[in-house]
């Protein structure tokens, strides 16, 4: 009999242990994970968000020839005061309507990096005057390195959070022995049971994606988290420089000769790359020691259509245009890393695949959010007095409100700041980010001083209102209202306006349902209170 019971007891013990591990792994860094998931989800359309954030840049009806565009911008670099010895440009494509470039400046100011950046008009090659903003790149960078802290610290925090997420996924699978059966079960308005059903359904539906996106996120920064293998295999600076070139297409520039010489035709170099990879498969054009006899020009292949982020490039002698090297393959380890990197970012995808990434990633965000809420719902029922919870419970509950509903308000406020802050404002891009964090901090303060249910309803309602009004604000402050975008086929602007209304409806529905649950919860508490009074009175009568 003891032998028969041991396996069952062991099974229950393992599941109970995994359940505790799943709960605490998800809770301790759950707020960080939720913000990473949500900003990462938005980042699948970061290029479109960046277009929306710069309404001064015209909509491209047709993608221009990358070779001609590269030559125009290269000419502009050569005409700059003082010149520049190093530059890099991203040529326009179906998702980017301008040439983004950065270059080394001749005069360096103490405390600055010595680089400048700007957007250029593909038709003329000249700088375009647009508002200073990070646009969608802010959400992308926040997703894996956060803000107001050193980049390395932020990436370490993101890595630790991803490890917690991986543990939560594995322990969650072990905990739910009927996980696939539970996927088809959902009970409405059942309190804790409903939250658990929603959490299970969201988890199972996107389980392969959630596991892939978490693990691949760790792989993208593997050199930071586990550098010992690299250090053991590549001991000299030259070997490490070669590894850097293999992983990022950053070719070590070497030393300039000191002899001035103009660049050969950049257009011809890009043409050679187009003959090899296709008309619109050029992603970047880089130059080192431009204006020197030792100049090198590197044409980098674009990422769309390739399920690998391992760089492919062609390197040319800058002064003659002679092809020096073609790099289209890397070692097995680097290629494995490149594939995981591509799977994580999804830049290879077409529009349909990108939307699938967005939707499943949104489910992952909801999975983390429902897990956080379920922790408070489950424990509230066990409190001696649900109306007067202890401090730790109150803290978790308030953090949930600010991290979930408050983050929606903060992200939308960032977009409002993009439209309302004056273009002449110094450090304008930083002030957009400051608005994001100021509003988020105010949402936390609001959650701390208001009753929990009221705070949920008010913050969800605020997010719904801000999202609904954002397209109207865009119509009032720019020349790109929704009706104009639809008429001209400007789907970057039209898509964001329409998506704002979809998200506004979602937040409004959540606010209404939360308000109804609040009324039901109060009625239940009053009924229980009356019942306890009746029981006490009956006991006194005896």
Q: Is 471 helix (H, G, I), strand (E, B) or coil?
A: helix
Which of 420, 437, 418 minimizes the C-alpha distance to 429? 418
Q: Do residues 57 and 98 make contact, with C-beta atoms less than 8 angstroms apart?
A: yes
Report the distance separating Cα 524 and Cα 526, nearest Å: 5
pLDDT at 305: 77
Total Cβ atoms within 10 A of residue 398: 21
Q: Which helix (H) or strand (E) holds 285?
A: strand 282-288
Rounded to 10°, the helix 351-380/2-28 angle is 110
Report the distance separating Cα 186 and Cα 184, nearest Å: 7
DSSP state of 399: H
**What burial class does residue 187 get, using C-beta atoms within 10 Å of its C-beta: 0-12 exposed, 13-18 middle, 19+ buried?**
exposed
Q: Is 127 helix (H, G, I), strand (E, B) or coil?
A: strand
Q: Along the 542 residues of the chain, how does pLDDT read in single tens digits?
A: 444 445 555 545 777 777 777 777 777 888 999 999 999 999 999 999 999 999 988 888 888 899 999 999 999 888 876 667 789 999 988 888 889 998 888 655 544 557 788 888 888 888 887 888 999 999 999 999 999 999 999 999 999 999 999 888 888 777 776 666 665 565 555 555 565 666 667 777 788 888 899 999 998 888 888 888 777 777 777 666 666 666 666 666 667 878 888 899 999 999 999 999 988 889 999 998 888 888 999 999 988 878 888 888 999 998 999 999 898 888 787 888 889 989 999 888 888 999 999 999 998 898 888 888 888 877 777 777 767 778 888 888 999 999 999 999 999 999 999 999 998 899 999 999 999 999 999 999 999 999 988 999 999 999 999 999 999 999 999 999 999 999 988 999 999 999 999 999 999 999 998 888 755 555 555 555 454 444 445 544 43
Q: Is 87 helix (H, G, I), strand (E, B) or coil?
A: strand
The structure tokens listed for 494 are: 């039209």
Indicate the pTM of the whole model.
Answer: 0.85
Q: What is the 3-state secondary structure (H, E, C) of 21-66?
A: HHHHHHHHCHHHHHHHHHHHHHHHHHHHHHHHHCCCCCCCCCCCCH
Q: Can you say how many angstroms the Cα of residue 467 is from the centroid of all Cα atoms in its chain?
A: 19
Which of 218, 289, 227, 221 minimizes the C-alpha distance to 254? 289
Q: CA distances (Å), 350 to each of 49, 278, 334, in order?
A: 17, 17, 24
Q: Can you say how many angstroms the Cα of residue 161 is from the centroid of all Cα atoms in its chain?
A: 14
Q: Do residues 485 and 491 make contact, with C-beta atoms less than 8 angstroms apart?
A: yes
Q: Is 291 helix (H, G, I), strand (E, B) or coil?
A: coil
Pairing of strands 282-288, 115-120: unpaired
The structure tokens listed for 137 are: 């790149």
List, in sequence order, every beta strand (DSSP E) within 60-173. 86-90, 99-104, 115-120
The structure tokens listed for 454 are: 């009221």
Q: Do residues 137 and 150 make contact, with C-beta atoms less than 8 angstroms apart?
A: no
Pairing of strands 296-301, 313-317: antiparallel
Report the distance separating Cα 97 and Cα 215, nearest Å: 33
Q: What is the length of the chain?
A: 542
Query: DSSP alpha helices (H): ranges in 221-287?
Result: 222-225, 228-233, 237-248, 266-277
Handedness of CA 199, 36, 134, 360 (dihedral sign): negative
List, in sequence order, every beta strand (DSSP E) within 289-359. 296-301, 313-317, 323-327
pLDDT at 2: 43
Alpha-carbon torsion angle 391, 392, 396, 398, nearest 10: 10
First to last CA, the chain: 48
pLDDT at 434: 96
pLDDT at 1: 41
Q: Do residues 229 and 380 make contact, with C-beta atoms less than 8 angstroms apart?
A: no
Query: DSSP alpha helices (H): ranges in 421-451?
Result: 428-449
Q: Do residues 70 and 290 make contact, with C-beta atoms less than 8 angstroms apart?
A: no
Which of 467, 458, 529, 531 minimizes the C-alpha distance to 498? 467
pLDDT at 247: 65
pLDDT at 253: 63
Report the distance separating Cα 127 and Cα 532, nearest Å: 74
Q: Is 282 helix (H, G, I), strand (E, B) or coil?
A: strand
Report the distance separating Cα 128 and Cα 343, nearest Å: 34
The residues near 112 (Cβ < 8 Å, ≥ 6 apart) are: none
Q: Is 64 helix (H, G, I), strand (E, B) or coil?
A: coil
Report the distance separating Cα 89 and Cα 74, nearest Å: 9
Report the distance separating Cα 534 and Cα 444, nearest Å: 40
The structure tokens listed for 203 are: 């988890």
Which of 328, 278, 275, 322 minimizes the C-alpha distance to 297? 322
Q: CA distances (Å), 322 to each of 269, 296, 315, 396, in order?
A: 8, 10, 9, 63
Radius of gyration of the chain (CA): 27
Q: Do residues 459 and 401 make contact, with C-beta atoms less than 8 angstroms apart?
A: yes
Report the distance separating Cα 256 and Cα 233, nearest Å: 30
């Amino acid at each position: 009999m003891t032998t028969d019971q041991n396996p069952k007891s062991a099974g229950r013990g393992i599941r109970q242990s995994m359940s505790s591990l799943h709960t605490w792994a998800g809770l301790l860094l759950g707020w960080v994970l939720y913000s990473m998931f949500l900003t990462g989800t938005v980042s699948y359309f970061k290029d479109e968000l960046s277009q929306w954030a710069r309404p001064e840049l015209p909509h491209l009806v047709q993608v221009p020839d990358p070779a001609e565009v590269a030559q125009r911008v290269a000419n502009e670099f050569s005409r700059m005061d003082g010149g520049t010895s190093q530059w890099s440009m991203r040529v326009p494509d179906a998702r980017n309507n301008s040439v983004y470039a950065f270059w080394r400046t001749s005069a360096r100011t103490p405390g600055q990096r010595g680089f400048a950046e700007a957007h250029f008009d593909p038709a003329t090659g000249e700088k375009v005057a647009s508002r200073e903003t990070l646009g969608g790149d802010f959400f992308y960078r926040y997703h894996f390195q956060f803000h107001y802290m050193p980049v390395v610290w932020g990436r370490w925090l993101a890595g630790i959070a991803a490890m917690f997420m991986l543990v939560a996924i594995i322990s969650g699978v072990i905990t739910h022995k009927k996980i696939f059966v539970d996927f088809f079960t959902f009970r409405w308005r059942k309190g804790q049971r409903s939250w658990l059903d929603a959490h299970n359904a969201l988890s199972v539906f996107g389980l392969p994606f959630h596991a892939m996106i978490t693990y691949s996120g760790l792989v993208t920064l593997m050199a930071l988290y586990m550098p010992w293998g690299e250090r053991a295999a590549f001991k000299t600076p030259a070997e490490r420089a070669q590894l850097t070139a293999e992983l990022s297409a950053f070719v070590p520039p070497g030393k300039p000769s000191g002899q001035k010489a103009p660049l050969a035709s950049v257009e011809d170099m890009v043409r050679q790359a187009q003959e090899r990879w296709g008309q619109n498969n050029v992603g970047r054009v880089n130059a080192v020691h431009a204006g020197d006899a030792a100049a090198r020009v590197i044409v980098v292949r674009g990422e769309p259509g390739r399920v690998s982020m391992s760089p492919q490039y062609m390197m040319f002698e800058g002064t003659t245009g002679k092809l020096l090297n073609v790099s289209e393959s890397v070692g097995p380890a680097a290629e494995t890393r490149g594939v995981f990197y591509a799977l994580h970012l999804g830049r290879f995808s077409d529009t349909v695949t990108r939307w699938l990434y967005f939707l499943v990633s949104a489910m992952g965000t909801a999975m983390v959010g429902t897990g956080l809420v379920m922790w408070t719902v489950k424990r509230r029922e066990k409190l001696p007095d649900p109306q007067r919870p202890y401090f730790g419970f109150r803290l978790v509950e308030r953090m949930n409100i600010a991290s979930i509903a408050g983050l929606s308000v903060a992200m939308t406020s960032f977009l409002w700041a993009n439209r309302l802050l004056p273009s002449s404002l110094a450090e304008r891009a930083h002030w957009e980010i400051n608005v994001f964090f100021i509003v988020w901090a105010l949402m936390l303060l609001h959650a701390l001083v208001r009753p929990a249910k009221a705070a949920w309803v008010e913050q969800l309602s605020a997010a719904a209102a801000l999202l609904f009004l954002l397209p109207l604000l865009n119509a009032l402050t720019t020349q790109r209202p929704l009706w104009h975008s639809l008429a001209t086929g400007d789907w970057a602007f039209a898509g964001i306006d329409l998506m704002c209304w979809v998200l506004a409806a979602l937040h409004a529905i959540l606010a209404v349902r939360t308000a109804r649950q609040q009324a039901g919860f109060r009625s239940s508490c009053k009924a229980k209170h009356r019942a306890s009074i009746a029981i006490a009175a009956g006991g006194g009568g005896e």
